Amino acid sequence: MALALLPSTPVLAQTAGDACVTGDPDTCSGELVLFCNPNTSVYETFDCSGAAAGTVCAPTPCTGSSCSGAIRCVGSRGDDCVGLGPVFDDDTANDNLIMQTPCVAGDACLLSDAGETCVASPNNLRCSASSATCLNNQLVICVGFSGGNAFLTSPGVVDCASFGLDCIDDGAAEGPRCAENFDPRCGTDGDGACQGSIAFSCDAGTVSGQQDCANLGQVCVDEGSPFCTTGNPDCGPLGLGQCVGNTATICASAQVVNTADCSQLGRRCGPIDASGQIGCAVIGGEGEGEGEGEAECARDSDCANDETCDDGTCRRERVRRDDAEDPPAESPLAFLGCNAGVDVSGAAGLAGLAALAAWRRRRRA
């Protein structure tokens, strides 16, 4: 049905190498997409058959004001596709190719250890907003486009079981994700963790031993693996800091790092995460769940490797590019389809993608 929308005699109005104006519509000829490269203002072509076997050049079934009639390579059921696979391979430079070749509406691009194939969409799901959910031990991710309210109606699906993992949605900050289903006492990496004063030792996510540090007059500290240590008394009985009025004694590894008058920040002294770490927490919140509205960090180590703790919020470090430095090369597919590219960074529902990338890094380590 989608192909019926194309001209019955596919003839390119322009040819590759002709001058173009950014915003000129994409056109099709067989399996070729002719598009205007905004970096060079010259028409270029992309061969859908080279992206994935069996794909055709057809209008993408999208929704949104900027998406009508957009041309893109799409795959039908049984065809190859390129959905979430770039997140899992060892080449981080191609991560911008996520959902490069999606499936037609009503299908999904399923990633397993055998590759990616268009299949029937789980629960007949059609994407209408960015999201990440667990369905039948599969991680289902809907991806939206940047610069508009348009979304691929075909989701990307990761078959967690084929990688020896489970789809876990436990309300953690990482969001729904494929991960080892560890004993919760073993922490997110399965190597052990502190639960109050108790240090749990683990082997591949299974508890192998435990020690109550309080029996030794010590506190439990987790620095990759849990251990008992003598903490600074000002850090409290668990070494996580303590409040004196609205002044927070902020601790790391059961040693004092800093003190802060939370009232000067318009905050309150209290726990800022599920472990009970003391810091200056945001007052109030919207009541959408435990911990909602509280500061997400007290120090840089609470954040991801490329983030710093800025006034209780983890923020990505900005790298200033030298004006003389050439910009990174973009895939031709970044210019095809709805509003020039896929937006995976700004959608709260796409925490699953970050979790996938983190899991890839752990596999590679």
Is 61 among the domain residues?
yes
Query: For position 50, what pLDDT does the model report?
Result: 72
Flag the least confident range among 126-140, 149-163, 296-310, 315-329: 315-329
- How far apart, in whole angstroms, are the C-alpha atoms of residue 128 and residue 87? 22
Q: What pLDDT sits at residue 68?
A: 56
pLDDT, greater one: 291 or 229: 229
Please tell me the distance from the alpha carbon of residue 57 to that of residue 72, in angstroms, as a whole number: 6
Tokens of 168: 């876990």
Average pLDDT over the chain reads: 74
Q: What is the CB neighbour count within 10 angstroms for residue 320?
A: 5
Please state, as a whole number, how many other Cβ atoms lie within 10 Å of the Cβ of residue 194. Answer: 24
Is residue 128 one of the residues assigned to a domain? yes
Let me know: does 246 contact 269? Beta carbons within 8 Å: yes
Query: Kindly report the CA angle at 228 between 223 and 233, in degrees rounded to 5?
Result: 100
Exposure string of 34-50, with b = 16+ CB inside 10 Å and e = fewer, is bbbbbeeeebbbbebee
The answer to the question of residue 108 being in a domain is yes
**What amino acid occupies position 67?**
C
Angstrom distance (rounded) from CA 308 to CA 317: 7
214 lies in some domain: no
32-37: strand order across its sheet: 27-29, 32-37, 42-47
Cβ neighbours of residue 109 under 8 Å, at least 6 residues apart? 75, 81, 82, 83, 84, 99, 101, 102, 103, 116, 117, 118, 154, 155, 156, 157
Block residue for tokens 């004006």 = 323
According to the model, what pLDDT value does residue 232 have?
A: 93
pLDDT at 247: 94
What pLDDT shows up at residue 289? 33
Q: What is the total count of domains within the chain?
A: 1
Question: Over the stretch 141-178, which tens digit does the pLDDT of each residue have?
Answer: 987 765 455 677 889 999 999 988 889 887 777 788 88
Rounded distance between C-alpha atoms, residue 144 and residue 347, angstroms: 8
> Is 9's pLDDT higher than 80?
no
Query: In this predicted structure, what is the pLDDT of residue 37?
Result: 82
Whether 240 is covered by a domain: the verdict is: no
Strand 156-159 to 107-112 pairing: parallel
Q: Is 336's pLDDT higher than 50?
A: no
The pLDDT of residue 87: 80
Q: What is the pLDDT of residue 117?
A: 94
Q: Using pLDDT thresholds of 50, 70 and 90, give the confidence band for residue 4.
A: very low
- Is 293 within a domain? no
Q: Residue 328 has what DSSP assignment?
A: P
Q: Which domain holds residue 27?
A: 3-173+342-364
Residue 204 domain-assigned?
Answer: no
Note the pLDDT tens digit of each residue in 176-224.
Answer: 888 887 888 888 778 899 988 999 999 888 899 999 999 999 999 988 7
Please answer whether residues 361 and 95 qualify as being in contact, where contact means their C-beta atoms are separated by less than 8 angstroms.
no
Asked if residue 232 is part of any domain, the answer here is no
Task: Give me the pLDDT at residue 224, please.
Answer: 78
Note whether 39 and 330 are within 8 A (CB): yes
Q: Mean pLDDT lowest for which of 205-214, 312-321, 327-336, 347-356? A: 327-336
Q: What is the pLDDT of residue 198?
A: 93
